[in-house]
Structure 1
């Protein structure tokens, strides 16, 4: 039985992670931290019967712990010290923030407008996308769990890139996310009265922080338009692409055979497109391929994930399974 710890257990992703781990057959939770709720139990914070004690970070004992999850906000000052302490103690790490996702120092500096705070760890970290980096993740000490939006862009585009079918390296991705994607911290834009019965775009163009990893993993130039949906969970992305002359519809669908043996990725049947209900509460990724003007190479791709499961906590458990030598889908079906 592996022992794991969680830093930041009372955010949406931390709570989702605990719900997955308590039913995992090969794992027990050694500790779960909560900065403002230390001394309480998880069932005091969320409507749940999970009676997990919550401790402060300085109460953590890493003795006998195999792996930790750091479910902390971006730019949290104590993230790097926590990661270093764990690695020094021989404990492996799955990090939820975007601190280690961008592998190239120059790209990181360009997008974050500063140098990386731990360049040695940046270069060591493995991008936590099992469908591409399965073997590297197995051997990694530090895994950078993917962002949620990027999955709905990388998964539908990667097969077309690999098959050399795209005519244009500039791609428009129009994405919509439920409010849980913004996290649990109080913010006016995610109040019920601000999101109910409305629909809004934000950070449109080249400003969203997830663009860097989308481009890193696809090699494309992304124009990205994220939107806030008045729902709790789920992401749906609509992507507009132009294919090379002579590419047939059969060629397009054949490109997705790259995912034929992937347990969680599903290509929708001909003529059908995914919706959030296909993936809500699951690890599934649903991809639809729609010809628009195939004679001109115009296609629309649609992809959905649950941002809290495959887009965050479930993805982290999938990575943990690989790192600790468990069945990759253990605790996730």
Structure 2
């Protein structure tokens, strides 16, 4: 049996704490593996109260204790790390708690005390004042694992679709110059290994989008598709990967097309995120592939404007916790076998 998951609180002024609380309350019906939150006991209780529910929390000093407590109360480690509730109003004190929670949850996963880490949504601008220098939590996890940022691959996963953006937070004008054969091949290999290891897909089918409309239409709408993307796909296919493309992105996400692949490798941020958020907005999970630890996160932000108003859906948080537990279980079974 896998160890409990470590959950970072996210920004305590956002929707993360209330959704973590609701996920624990729905743990049975959702089939969630045991998890433990790092810090913020007062924040969690107050956030749950804003949704009209009473939350039982229990202080634990180890993840082993968390597993024992999970059925009766929400386990919280590092109980002394807390801050006054301030739903919708981010503060420096809250940012400090968020950074501690993220750092400690990651270290628990790296040490093996936790089977994986599920990260609540953060406000990066607030964390910057506390020494958070990475572009996002994905890069933070890569640094913590001692890996270059390009080895930590972001995948968005929902019930209908999985997508991977080849380039992430880059200006659209810069994307064509960033797309290289080496980048496509490197990320596709990481995706294939991770889907086999963590998702039980020994020969995952990867569909690669084109960069230009109609995948360039034989060079008439841009040559990147035939000069860069197609040769990379050919090289990967020669290695034995089940990979196809470049496919016109405007047709690849139709229902009948989605049955033909397990993941779509997309050229840029919106090409990957628009379809997943259209199809699976309330159940989308951000998964970091390529790490020595399991990491998932709900695919939404802090949503300060609706924090504490009972409007935020817990679907993505529940999906992130469920997926992390399933991936951790596969790793544990593989190592035992």
Same fold, judged at TM 0.5 (above): no
Greater fraction strand: 1
Greater fraction helix: 2
TM-score band, normalised by the shorter chain?
Answer: 0.3 to 0.5
TM-score, with length taken from structure 2: 0.37
- Larger RCO, structures 1/2 (Cα 8 Å, 6+ apart): 2
TM-score, with length taken from structure 1: 0.37
